[in-house]
């Protein structure tokens, strides 16, 4: 968890494959701990072929069964099916917007909003925001699943679209 925080969480991401991976992992995390997902991350990457959206969008029934038999990942049929469907929606949206990062810019333009200097602890970090709620609604209209506002906000934090590092953290840039 420390390594993830120190090296990845909140660092801006613009690469479509990495954005898709993070969104997929946040979706798989629903109802589970993030630590569980991080422990299984390499298995997820192997199982989902590096999270290349074009590859995942082409997965068929045999791939679904392969994924559900893979003890290295979270074997939830609804989340597996959602990830495959989300790859198709991701490709369509990325193509129309000129990339998923550009699409996200329409909701959270750079630079990312940051916590105020007086933020004292985890209680000061939101679990969702009106922006995350609007993005969640828009993604669902576009065919995405498992993208509720809390998942979307965690995704935005993960990929550096919001900066919720606390004052005192070496990554805090307030």
Indicate which residues carry an active-site annotation. Answer: 4, 26, 34
Q: Measured between alpha carbons, how far is 90 from 92 in angstroms, rounded to an integer? A: 5
Both tokens assigned to 158: 């993960």
Q: Is 133 exposed, middle or buried (0-12, 13-18, 19+ CB in 10 A)?
A: middle
Can you spell out the DSSP letters for 21-69?
Answer: HHHHHHHHHTTS-HHHHHHTHHHHHHHTGGG-HHHHHT--HHHHHHHHT
Take residue 6 and report the two structure tokens written for it.
């120190």
């Amino acid at each position: 968890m420390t390594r993830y925080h120190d090296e990845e969480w909140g660092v801006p991401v613009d690469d479509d494959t990495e954005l898709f991976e993070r969104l997929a992992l946040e979706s798989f995390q629903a109802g589970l701990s993030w630590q569980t997902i991080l422990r299984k991350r390499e298995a997820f990457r192997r199982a989902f072929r590096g999270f290349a959206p074009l590859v995942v969008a082409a997965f068929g029934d045999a791939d679904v069964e392969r994924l559900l038999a893979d003890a290295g990942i979270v074997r939830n049929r609804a989340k597996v099916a959602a990830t495959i469907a989300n790859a198709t929606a991701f490709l369509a949206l990325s193509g129309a917007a000129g990339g998923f990062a550009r699409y996200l810019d329409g909701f959270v333009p750079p630079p990312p909003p940051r916590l105020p200097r007086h933020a004292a602890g985890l209680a000061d970090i939101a679990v969702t925001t009106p922006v995350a709620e609007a993005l969640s609604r828009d993604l669902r209209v576009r065919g995405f699943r498992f993208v509720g506002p809390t998942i979307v906000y965690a995704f935005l934090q993960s990929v550096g679209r919001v900066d919720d590092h606390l004052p005192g953290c070496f990554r805090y840039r307030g």
